[in-house]
Chains A and B, each alone.
Chain A
Amino acid sequence: MKDGLRQSMAWVHTWAGLLVCWLLLLVFMGGTAAYYRHEITFWMKPELHAAAAAPATLSPGQSAQLAVRTLQERAPNATRWTIDLPDERNPVIQAAWQNPPKKDMTRQERRNALRDQNVTLDPTSGLPTAKPRDTRGGDFLYRLHFDLHYMPAIWGRWIVGIGAMFMLVAIISGVITHKRIFKDFFTFRPKKGQRSWLDAHNATAVLALPFHLMITYTGIVTLMFIYMPAPTKALYGDEQNTMFSDVFGNFERGQPADIAAPLADIAPMLQQAGRAWGVTPSRVAISHPNDAAARVELYRPSGQQLSNLEPAMTFDGVSGALLSETPPVSTALATRAAIYGMHVAHFADPLLRALFFVCGLAGSAMVATGALLWGVRERQSYAKVVANGGRVGFGVRLVDALNIGAIAGLPIAFAAFFWANRLLPVDMAQRASAEANWFFIAWGAAALLAQIRPTRAMWRFQLTVGAVLLAGIPVLNVFTTNSHLGVSLFGGPGLRPVAAFDIVVLILGALLGWAAWWLGHKAKQKAASKQPAASAGTTSTMEPV
């Protein structure tokens, strides 16, 4: 019975993994990049780099005051202002406003309007910076990772959710089927074909197993009320919105009094909150500015705790008096918030964040090696057929092609997205969507070519293209920006994210280049050892990758 269980779990592991592995690779890569979503956004707006190069000299209070002054000039009648103060992940001051919604606006129009209703301020002078190029930045990769693209977000969420459930099942069955999980971790038998792929799969999976299990379960939990509405239905009936405000907090902003009243000074409020929390608030939101009912909310940075709930203090916007603090939440809600917080890792300091990033890469490698392993193993059952001049089955060919399109094609897509950011005309209409389109144009081309010729040569070609594109980004920066590595490495701390981005893509490009070289090297070795037999006519599809 014990062996029976292992075998059935191995079966579940194989199929649950194979059916969704290409989707999972996209989700894993997008999510891994999203750990550096703010840094990527900043990198993709080179117009802001000059402002961040000098160390910030303004105090948080001064920054907020200057932001308020700008907002008073640009949008005195807005319903809400938000100000993001500079921190180590975002070196500039961001100010945004929301106007009262017009009734006949479509969702898209409202979204477009929001995109224009913000201004970036220089952290040293408090003056507006040059207008950055229109880009979705890291937010595109973040959204891609659970909303997908070119479809309503809710469809994407269901597709990704189903993929995540398969993943969860694959991980648990993989652990059950694995006999010597600890011992195998210290086993690596290179250059042994299938054995080596299995070892690589085991190593990447076991090395970061707690991370994989955590990230999959917590990922489902982020959207669990959508996926599993039954418990809500049982207690709330049709009042789902009541549940949302109970669980996620009440976002009621109150109504304006429609009586004009001057806004109180922000700086003392920031000081008061800073004294109470021990850290300066990261975010200021002002509802109904210049109205007698104005409210100022200050948010504590979420970096201090696992939970993603940002405790807030609310002040009266006219008198400047403290009105309320977010009450502590119950254990159950704190648990959910902590699980959510673990997934998005806002709490992580730079070192831990880097570790999460590496674990995300290990997850991508686990999915990739797992997908490859299926092809390698399946092809062995065709060994005799192929030796007699036959062809591999349709399934093997399809999986090979999808593997190339996903494993080698996705890095090309990511690189194309970043290249588009630098090369598309800065004043182009719909620029942000065009960048996103280039991600899919590049990926589509790679996937299509892979379907036409799923060969070892195609592997090498696509890996090489990905390597050149990724490693070429720092070079591209020399020609398209003033914040290339030669500048960013020696600039102020505000430019550190820019330098780090360039170095990381350089390393990733080098890794892809090494993979391409290794494939060619292996092919040469094999050809040399086969020289006497000279088995002409065998196409490279037949060889294990």
Chain B
Amino acid sequence: MTTITWRYRGGVTARAVAAIGGGYVLAALAGALIALALPLPRADAVTIATLLAFVIYPCVILWVFATRSALRACVGVAGTCAVLGMVLWLVGGTA
């Protein structure tokens, strides 16, 4: 059996957190922004945004595990979340 280093374990843990936790936050922020951006009645905008959030979430998860390094994955997710959160705060959503 190949030996599993602590470095490897740390990388997997970091990616799992970035994918599951970070991916959820990213999808939620993106969903909220889409809901605000869609020029539709509230119920329609919320429905489409929530449907899309569940397309975004798995895509983020897969990207986190596909990208070259765990660091890149964490920075990528955290950075995107920061940008989305900033935009959301600027346009004045309640989230």
Q: Residues of A with Cβ closer than 8 Å to B?
A: 5, 8-9, 11-12, 165, 168-169, 172-173, 176, 217, 220-221, 224-225, 227-228, 230-237, 243, 246-247, 330-333, 335-336, 339, 381
Contact = CB atoms under 8 A, between A and B. Distances in A.
A interface SS class:
helix
For B46, B62, B94, the residue with the greatest tally of chain A CB atoms inside 10 Å of its CB is: B46
Contact of A228 (B41, B43, B54, B65): B54
A231 B42 contact: no
Contacts of B14: none
A11 B42 contact: no
**Most A CB atoms within 10 A — which of B40, B50, B88, B95?**
B50
Determine chain B's interface SS by DSSP, over half rule: helix
In this complex, the interface size class of chain B, counting residues with CB under 8 Å from chain A, is: 20 to 34
B18 interface: no
B43 A9 contact: no
B23 to A, nearest CB: 9
A11 B46 contact: no
Contacts of B42: 235-236, 243, 246
B74 interface: no
Interface string B21-48: 0000001110111111000111111111
B36 A234 contact: yes
Contact of B53 (A172, A228, A235): A228
A230 B31 contact: yes
A12 to B, nearest CB: 5
B51 interface: yes
A234 B35 contact: yes
Contacts of A336: 47, 51
Contacts of B50: 224-225, 228, 231-232
Contact of B44 (A173, A233, A330): A330
Contacts of B36: 234-235
B65 A8 contact: yes
A306 to B, nearest CB: 16
B18 to A, nearest CB: 13
Nearest to A227: B54
B66 interface: yes
B54 A234 contact: no
A173 B44 CA distance: 31
A331 to B, nearest CB: 8
Nearest to B35: A231
A8 B58 contact: no
A478 to B, nearest CB: 48
A225 B54 CA distance: 11
Given A230-B32, A232-B46, A235-B46, A221 B95 contact: no
B47 A335 contact: yes
Contacts of A246: 41-43
B77 interface: no
Tell which of A11, A165, A172, A331 has the most Cβ of chain B within 10 Å. A165
B44 A9 contact: no
B1 interface: yes
Given A173-B62, A228-B27, A231-B34, A247 B46 contact: yes
Contacts of A331: 44
A169 B53 CA distance: 14
A231 B32 contact: yes
Given A169-B61, A224-B54, A8 B66 contact: yes
B51 A339 contact: yes
A12 B27 contact: no
A225 B44 CA distance: 13
A230 B51 contact: no
B49 interface: yes
A236 B41 CA distance: 12
B66 A332 contact: no
Interface string B58-93: 100110011000000000000000000000100001
Given A8-B65, A176-B62, 4 more contacts: A9-B66, A228-B50, A234-B49, A339-B51
Contacts of B44: 330-333
A9 B63 CA distance: 10
Contacts of B49: 231, 234
A228 B46 contact: no
Contacts of A236: 42, 46
Contacts of B41: 246, 330
Contacts of B57: 165
